[in-house]
Chains A and B, each alone.
Chain A
Amino acid sequence: MEKGRSKFILILLVVAIVSFIFSLVSLIIHYNEFFEFTGFATDTGIANVTIIARASISFPTESVSWGSGAVDSGKISALLDTYTGNVTDGNWTAVSQALVLQNDGNSNVSVTLTSSKTASQFIGGSTITPSFKLMVSDNETNSCGPSFNEMSSYTIMLGSAQDACLNLSSYNIFDTIKIDVQLRVPSDASPGIKGAVITAIATPI
Chain B
Amino acid sequence: MKINNILMIVAIVAVTFALVNLIIHYDDAVEFTGFATGQDTGTANVTILSQASVEFITNTIDWGLGSVNEIPTSALLVTNGTVDGGNWSAVSQALVLQNDGNTNISVTLTSTLATTFLGGTAVTPLFQLKVSDNETDSCDSAHNEMTDFTEVNGTAQNACLNLSYYNDLDTIKIDVLLRIPEDATPELKSATITAIATPI
Distance between Cα atoms of A192 and B154 in the complex (Å): 63
Do residues A46 and B21 form an inter-chain contact, with CB atoms below 8 A? no
Do residues B15 and A44 form an inter-chain contact, with CB atoms below 8 A? no
Do residues B189 and A44 form an inter-chain contact, with CB atoms below 8 A? no
Binds A, one of B33-41, B46-54, B135-143: B46-54
Q: Does A91 contact B (CB under 8 A)?
A: no
- How many residues of chain B are within 8 Å of chain A by beta carbon? 73
- How many residues of chain A are within 8 Å of chain B by beta carbon? 45
Mostly, the A contact residues are mixed
Q: Which residue of A lies closest to B51 (CB)?
A: A39
Do residues B11 and A173 form an inter-chain contact, with CB atoms below 8 A? no
Q: Does A196 contact B (CB under 8 A)?
A: no
Do residues B8 and A12 form an inter-chain contact, with CB atoms below 8 A? yes
Which of A1-48 touch B at CB < 8 Å? 5-6, 9, 12-13, 15-17, 19-20, 22-23, 26-27, 30, 32-33, 36, 39-48
Q: Which residues of B contact A49 (CB under 8 A)?
A: 62-64, 66, 77, 88, 118, 178, 180, 189-190
| Interface pairs (28), CB distance under 8 Å | A9-B11, A13-B10, A23-B18, A27-B21, A36-B49, A39-B199, A40-B197, A40-B198, A41-B54, A41-B196, A45-B60, A45-B97, A46-B190, A46-B191, A47-B95, A47-B117, A47-B127, A47-B178, A47-B191, A48-B61, A49-B66, A50-B66, A51-B187, A52-B67, A54-B186, A106-B68, A172-B181, A175-B183
